[in-house]
Amino acid sequence: MDYVIEMLNIRKEFPGIVANDNINLQVEKGEIHALLGENGAGKSTLMNVLFGLYQPEKGEIRVNGKPVKITNPNIANDLGIGMVHQHFMLVDTFSVTENIILGSEPKKSGTVDIKKAEAEVQEISERYGLKVDPTAKIKDISVGMQQRVEILKTLYRGADILILDEPTAVLTPQEIHELIDIMRTLIKEGKSIILITHKLKEIMEVCDRCTVIRKGQGIGTVDVKETSTTELASLMVGREVSFRTEKTPAHPKEEILKISDLRVKDARGAEMVKGLHLDVKAGEIVGIAGVDGNGQSELIEAIAGLRKVESGSILLNKETITHFTPRKVTESGVAHIPQDRHKFGLVLDFPIGENMVLQNYYQKPYSSMGILNYKEIYKQANKLIEEYDVRTPSEHTPARALSGGNQQKAIIGREVDRSPDLLIAAQPTRGLDVGAIEFIHKKLIEERDKGKAVLLLSFELEEILNVSDRIAIMFDGQIVANVKPEDTTEQELGLLMAGSQVEKKAGES
C-alpha cells in the first residue's frame, strides 16, 4: 500500500497529561482521511506533531515511505504538508494576498512583488475553485472566506497533504457544501487530506477512511463504507450515544425577554437589525434560524449590551435594559455564551480557573472588599470542571492550553451555572464532540425546565429542530416567521431562511 503519511507509535506529553499515547495514523495517497475523537482526545496535538509544531517524545513519521524528522513547520512545508488550524492564524489588517504569501513572498529587486503575487493567488484560486478577492482585507471577509485563504496559503506553498483541523465547525451549512466541493477538487488534483471533524455525517459523506482516537489512545482505523454514524460515535466515546434529544413539551409562562422594533448597526455602520420583534417566555427555548449575516450576531450583541442600540426597546422581566452596559445586563439576569470563544469568551492567558469567574469575580464569595478569594474561586472552578467534564490537566492550566472543545465546555459551564433568567446561547455546541453536544443540549433543556428562558442561535438546523420549542426565522434583520419544530422540516426552514414565503408566514404568526 502507498502511504503518503505514516505516523507510527506517536507519543506526546504535556505537563500533567499524555495527549498522544502510541497513536498510529496511515494516510493513503489521494484519500480523505478522517480523524475522529472526543474533545481533548489529542487530535490537534497529533496534527501539530505532524506539522512540526510539537516534537513527539516517541514514534516515527514517514512521508512517502521515507522516515523524516519534522522539527519545525518549514520542514513540513518542504515535505509538502500544509495545515489549516482550528483557530485561524491570519493577520487581520493584511490583505488576502499578503496573508497568503507571508513568509514566502515573491521578490523583485528586494521588494515584494505584490502584482505577481496577486496573479499567482488568482491562478491557484481558480484552479481549485477557491474563490477569493485577493485584495480584500481579512477583517472585512466572512469566516468561510478566511478559511479559503488558509487553504490557499497551504496550496501556495505547494502542499500535497492538507491537514484541516475542524474546518466545518465555524462554517454555515452553505459554506460547508462549498468546502466539500473544494475538497473533492483537491483530491482530483492529486492531493491527500486529513480532516478533523466532530460531524459524523460529514465523515460519511466525504471521507474514505477514519481513524478514531479516545483519550489519547489510538482505537483503530475503519473503512467509512463499512461503518455507520452510530458505530463511529460509540467507537469514539466508548459507549452508546443517542442523537435525538429527549425532552418533554414546554410549558411557557410569563414573558422574560421582549424586544420591540429593534434597530442595530454593525461595525461599519450598516443597519443589520431592522425593526425586529421577538419575545421569549419563561420555560421555553426559542431557536433563531437564519443564514449567517442576517443580523443574528448584532441582535445578540445588542441584548448583551455589547453593541449600541439605535432605536427600539429590549425588556427583561418587564424592565428596560435597552441601553445597559454589559455589567448591568449581566446583573439583571442575563448570561451569554458568545459565538466567538477566543475573542469574547475567555482570557486565554488566564488560568482556566480564573476564567470561571470572569463576570462575578467582584462578588461574594469570590472576593470581599476588593480582595480576591482564590480559595473560593478555585473551588467554584473545580466544581464546574467536574460537572461539565472540562478535560484539563489542572485548574491552573492557562485556558490557551485546553483543547478547543474543552474551552467551549468551560464557557458553557460558567454561563449556565449562574442560572440566569435569560440564557443566550450562540452556537453553544460549535466544535463539541457528539457526547458533549448531547450533554449541553440536556443542560439547556434543564434550564428551561427550571423556568428559565433560553435563546438559542445556531446555524445547524438539526440542532435548532432538536432543541427549540419554537423557531424564529431571521431574515434581513427581522424575524420573518415563527414555527413549531414539530410542524416543519429542514426543507421548509431552508426556504424561509432564504427569504421566500415571507408574506405568508409572517402573516400567520
Partner 1 sequence: MLTNQRFINVLIPIISVILGLLAGAIIMLSFGYNPIEGYGALYEGAFGNSYFTGETIVKVAPLILSGIAVAFAFRTGLFNIGVEGQVFVGWLASVWVGISFEAPMIIHLPLAILSAGVAGALWGFVPGFLKAKFGVHEVIVSIMMNYIALHTCNALIRNVLTDRLDSTEPVADSASLSSQLFYEWTGSRLHWGAVVALALAFVMWFILEKTTKGYELRSVGFNQNASNYAGMNVNRNIVYSFLISGSFAGIAGAMQGLGTYGNMFVQSSFTNIGFDGIAVALLGGNTALGSVFGAFLFGTLKNGAGSMPLVANIPKELVDIIVALIIFFVASGYIIRWALTRVKREGK
Ligand X SMILES: Nc1ncnc2c1ncn2[C@@H]1O[C@H](COP(=O)(O)OP(=O)(O)OP(=O)(O)O)[C@@H](O)[C@H]1O
Residues 368-407 that bind partner 1 (CB under 8 A): 370-372
Q: Give the nearer residue to ligand X in terms of CB position, either 212 or 285.
A: 212
DSSP string, 383-439: HHHHHTT---S-TTSBGGGS-HHHHHHHHHHHHHHT--SEEEEESTTTT--HHHHHH
* Rounded CA separation 392/389 (Å): 9
Among the residue ranges 173-181, 348-356, 435-443, 447-455, the one whose residues contact partner 1 (CB under 8 A): 348-356
Q: Does 325 bind partner 1 (CB under 8 A)?
A: yes
Residues 42-81 that bind partner 1 (CB under 8 A): 55, 57
Smallest gap, in angstroms, from Cβ of residue 461 to partner 1?
A: 27
Residues 23-52 that bind Mg ion (CB under 5 A): 44
Per CB under 6 A, the list member of 351, 353, 404, 485 interacting with ligand X is 404
**SS3 assignment, position 137:** strand
Amino acid occupying residue 305: G
Q: Which residue has the cell 492538507?
A: 162
Burial label, 75 (beta-carbon count in 10 A; 0-12, 13-18, 19+): middle
List, in sequence order, every beta strand (DSSP E) within 149-208: 161-165, 192-196
Smallest gap, in angstroms, from Cβ of residue 201 to ligand X?
A: 17
Q: Give the nearer residue to partner 1 in terms of CB position, either 336 or 443.
A: 336
Q: Does 44 bind ligand X (CB under 6 A)?
A: yes
**Residue 227 contact among partner 1, Mg ion, ligand X, none, beta carbon within 5 to 8 Å by kind:** none
Q: Which three cell numbers stand for residue 129?
A: 475553485
Per CB under 8 A, the list member of 66, 268, 343, 487 interacting with partner 1 is 343
Q: Give the nearer residue to Mg ion in terms of CB position, either 44 or 330.
A: 44
Q: Give the nearer residue to partner 1 in terms of CB position, either 243 or 361.
A: 361
Contacts 24+ apart (CB under 8 A), 391-398: 391/39, 391/40, 392/352, 393/14, 393/15, 393/16, 393/17, 394/16, 395/351, 395/352, 395/353, 396/351, 396/352, 396/353, 397/16, 397/351, 397/352, 398/348, 398/349, 398/350, 398/351, 398/352
Size of the site for partner 1 (CB under 8 A): 32
Residues lying near partner 1 in the complex (CB under 8 A) are found at: 15-16, 55, 57, 304, 306, 325-331, 336, 338, 343-350, 354, 358-359, 361-362, 367, 370-372
Residues lying near Mg ion in the complex (CB under 5 A) are found at: 44, 86, 403-404
Residues lying near ligand X in the complex (CB under 6 A) are found at: 14, 17, 19, 37, 39-45, 86, 391-392, 401-406
